Amino acid sequence: MKSLIWVVLSCCFWQESFAMQDTIFREYDIRGIVNRELSIEKAYDLARAIAVYFIEKNPAVTTVAVGMDGRIHSAAIKEQLCKGLLDSGLDVTFLGVCPSPALYFALHTLPVHAGIMITASHNPKEYNGFKICLGTDSVSGKEIAAIKDLFKSGAHRTSISKKGIYQEYAIIEPYVTMLVEKFPHLRGMNIPAVIDCGNGAAGTVLPELVKRMGWSQVHLLYPEVDGTYPHHEADPTVAANMVDVKKVLATTPSVVGLGLDGDADRMAAMTKEGELVVGDRLLALFAQHIAPTHPGAAVVFDVNASMVLIETLKKIGLRGCMASVGFPLVKARAKKENALLAGELSCHFLFKDRYFGYDDGIYSALRLFEILVATGKTLTELLATLPSTVSTPAIRMVCKEEDKKKIVRAVHEYLARKQGLELITIDGVRAQFPHGWGIIRASNTEPKIMVRFEADTVGHVHELKQEFYQALVPFFDEAYLRTRLELA
C-alpha cells in the first residue's frame, strides 16, 4: 500500500514539476527556469497554441522561422517546438543557432510570416524561453496573455489536411554579408577595440564579421558559443560581467570595449578608463550622428531616460518621444511615430535610419564604430560633449508582487500633494523637480519596484532620494530602504 501511495505521489510530483507555470508568460516574452517553470516536453503543446494564435490573427500565415541561442536545452526545446508547429500544419524554416537580430533579419528578407526565437536573452543559464513575432512585429502584453489562455485551454488546430514542411536555412552567412555591405567604409578599420561575445549567440557572427571586415586590431573575448556561460552571465549592462573587458582596456592599446548579451540584441560600451556607459547616453551619441541629415526626426526613449538625452535632443533639433519601459513597447511607439532611432537604458537600440528598425546589438556596434571613425574622437571624448549631470542607476527594491502597484500609487499620491511638480504617468510616476527628477515604477517581470534619480548636483540627487524615502518608508524596512537609496 505504501508503495502504491509513493507511486501515485511521485506521478503527481512529476506532472507538477514538468508543467508550464503561469509565471513564464511575461509582459514581453515567454521565459522561465527549464524543468521547474518551463517544460521541454510541454513546448510541443505551447507550439500548438502559438499556431492557433498566429492563424487567428492572420489566416495567411503558413511559414514560421525558428532560431535558437546556444543554451544547453535550446536544441531539445527546438525539437518539441518545431514538431508542434508542423503538426499544426505550419511550415518551419529553421535558422540554426543565431542571434535574435538574425531571426528579425529573416522576417524582413525571407518568405516567412512569423518567427519564434528560443532564448532567455541575458538570464542565467538555467533559463530559456521564446520571443515571438507575427510578421515583423514583436508579440507582447495582451497578446502573450492570449497565447497563455490558448495554451491553458488546450487549444490546437483541428482542421489540418496535412502536416507542415520542415526546412533549414543557414541565416548567418547572408546576415553577415548584409552587415559587411552596409559598412564598406569600416573595412580595414584601425581602431583598437575589444568585444566580449559572452559565450552567447554573437559568437556565431562576430568572428566571421571581424575577418571579412579586416579588423586586425579588434580582439574578441569568449566567441565560443557555450550555453553554460563559463566566464560570466551574458548581460553586459552589469559591471561585474564587463570585468574582463575592463582588464583588456587597462592592459592593451584597445580604446573602447563592447559587450553583447546572450542573444545579441543589446550592446553595452565601456570607455578606455573603464566607465560602463549608460544606454541613454549612447542613444544621445547616436542621435547626434543622425541629426545633420534628418532634422526634426523622432527619437523614442523610455521613461527612465536622463535629462542628458532629453536636453541633447532639444539642442540638436530632434523630436523626443517618451514610451513605457520594455523594448517591445518602445518599438511599438517607434513604429507609431515613424522614428528613425529608439533606445532604452538597458542598451536596446533600434535604427530605422539605413536599417530595418529592430534592435540589433551587432549593428549598433557598427554604428558606434562609424561615429568613432567619422569624428576621430574616443568614446570618452564624445561623452564629454554631452550635458553634465549626476544620476543613479536603476535602484530595485524587493516587495510583494501584490504590493507593487499599491506602492507606486501611494508615491504618486504623495508627490501629487507637492506644489509645482510636473508628474508624468506613462509608466509609474516620473516627477520633475526644479533641479532634477525622480521616477518610481513597478517591474513588469519581477516582484520589485524601481527608482532612479538625476539632478544637476550630488546634493540635489540626495534631496530627491530623501523626498522619495518619505513616501516609501511606510512600505519597507527603514534600514533596507536607506541602504538601497544610499542614505546615511
Active-site annotation, residues: 121
In angstroms, the CA 171 to CA 447 distance is 38
In angstroms, the CA 371 to CA 279 distance is 16
446: number of Cβ within 10 Å: 14
Could you list the beta-strand ranges (E) of 303-414: 319-323, 341-343, 349-351, 390-391, 395-398
Locate 477 and state its grid cell.
Answer: 524596512
φ/ψ of residue 355, rounded to 5: -145, -175
3-class state of residue 278 by DSSP? coil
> Who's near 165: CB < 8 A, 6+ residues apart?
86, 91, 92
Cβ proximity of 112 and 10 under 8 Å: no
Q: Which contiguous run of DSSP H or E holds residue 422? A: strand 422-424
Question: Residue 261: how many CA atoms within 13 Å on its side-chain side?
Answer: 25
Tell me how far CA of residue 436 lies from CA of 451, 464, 482, in angstroms: 14, 8, 20
In angstroms, the CA 71 to CA 223 distance is 14
Locate 263 and state its grid cell.
Answer: 542573444
Cβ proximity of 144 and 29 under 8 Å: yes
Q: Which contiguous run of DSSP H or E holds residue 243? A: helix 243-251
Length of the chain: 488
